């Protein structure tokens, strides 16, 4: 959802910490993965339209011909970057489901993404929201693909609220918490107000904990 290192599926960390151990990849796989991770980071930090093939070539430190071998267009790179993010989001959510035994613990872990990502959110905004907003203006076909990033979170959150005892309103609550998170991310980025992010995250956590206690009176 919000920005963080590759364990949350948005920006790039050094190879080897992500989906597939870097050392086990063939050289061609490592090159392709480096291109994807580099492009993913640049798309987040600079925006998709503002990132050129040359930017990716220079940042990934690969010959231009290597990029064209793997990706014919910048749109192809973006599709691979979206898959890169989606795989890591899926892995993260699966890990949380296995690591935490109750839905309230999982929901609170989800909310920790905001303070964990406070620096990148303040500097660049939300990677999912920014990408979907940019693509929605000029490239609805790619935006439809990028929407899957939100869908992964929405479906997982819906499952948590259902397990918490709110099956009839589970998707409503899932979208509510996503919408609040997006709003917090935008305001933190616009105003560079990290205190606001912490305060609003705490409000969301109190709402989740009230729901867990059986109080569905308001959204915090």
Burial tier of 168 (Cβ tally within 10 Å: 0-12, 13-18, 19+): exposed
| Domain assignment of residue 219, yes or no | no
Calpha distance 176→219 (Å, rounded) = 8
Q: What is the predicted pLDDT for the residue at 28?
A: 75
| Number of structural domains found in the chain | 1
CA separation (Å) from 218 to 20, 132, 166? 43, 29, 14
Q: Is residue 217 part of a domain?
A: no
CA atoms lying within 13 Å on the CB side of residue 168: 1
Domain containing 14 equals 6-212
Q: Which among 200, 6, 217 is positioned nearest to 111, based on CA atoms? A: 200
Among all chains, which residue has been given the structure tokens 């940019």?
134
Please, what is the angle between helix 127-138 and helix 170-191, to 10°? 90
Q: Per the domain annotation, does 73 fall within a domain?
A: yes
Per-residue tokens: 109 = 């872990």
The DSSP line for 30-97 is: HHHHHHHHHHHHHHHHH-TTT--HHHHHHHHT--HHHHHHH-SSHHHHHHHHHHHHHHHHHHHHHHHH
> Does residue 81 sit within a domain?
yes
In a domain, 108, yes or no: yes
Q: One digit per residue, pLDDT tens: the chain, 220 residues?
A: 555 443 344 443 433 444 455 456 677 789 999 999 999 999 999 999 999 999 999 999 999 888 999 999 999 999 999 999 999 999 999 999 999 999 999 999 999 999 999 999 999 999 999 999 999 999 999 999 999 999 999 999 999 999 999 999 999 999 999 999 999 999 999 999 999 999 999 999 999 999 999 987 665 5
Tokens 């499952």: give the residue: 159
> Model pTM greater than 0.85?
yes
Region for residue 12 given its phi and psi (left: phi exceeds 0; alpha: psi -120 to 50; beta: otherwise): beta
Assess if residue 67 is contained within a domain. Answer: yes
Does 1 fall in a domain? Answer: no
CATH code at 111? 1.10.357.10
Residue 220 counted as domain residue: no
């Amino acid at each position: 959802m919000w920005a963080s290192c590759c364990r949350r599926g948005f920006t790039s960390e050094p190879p080897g910490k992500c989906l597939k151990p870097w050392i086990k990849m063939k050289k061609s796989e490592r090159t392709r993965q480096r291109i994807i991770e580099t492009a993913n980071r640049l798309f987040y930090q600079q925006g998709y339209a503002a990132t050129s093939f040359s930017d990716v070539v220079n940042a990934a430190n690969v010959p231009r011909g290597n990029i064209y071998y793997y990706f014919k267009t910048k749109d192809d790179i973006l599709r691979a970057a979206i898959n890169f993010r989606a795989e890591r989001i899926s892995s993260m959510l699966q890990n949380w489901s296995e690591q935490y035994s109750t839905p309230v613990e999982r929901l609170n872990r989800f909310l920790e993404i905001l303070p964990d990502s406070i620096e990148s959110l303040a500097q660049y905004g939300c990677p999912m929201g920014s990408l979907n907003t940019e693509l929605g203006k000029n490239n609805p076909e790619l935006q439809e693909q990028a929407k899957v990033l939100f869908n992964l979170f929405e479906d997982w959150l819906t499952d948590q609220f259902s397990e918490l005892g709110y099956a009839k309103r589970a998707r409503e609550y899932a979208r509510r918490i996503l919408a609040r998170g997006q709003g917090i991310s935008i305001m933190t980025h616009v105003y560079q107000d990290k205190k606001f992010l912490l305060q609003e995250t705490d409000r969301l956590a109190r709402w989740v904990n009230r729901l867990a206690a059986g109080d569905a009176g308001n959204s915090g």
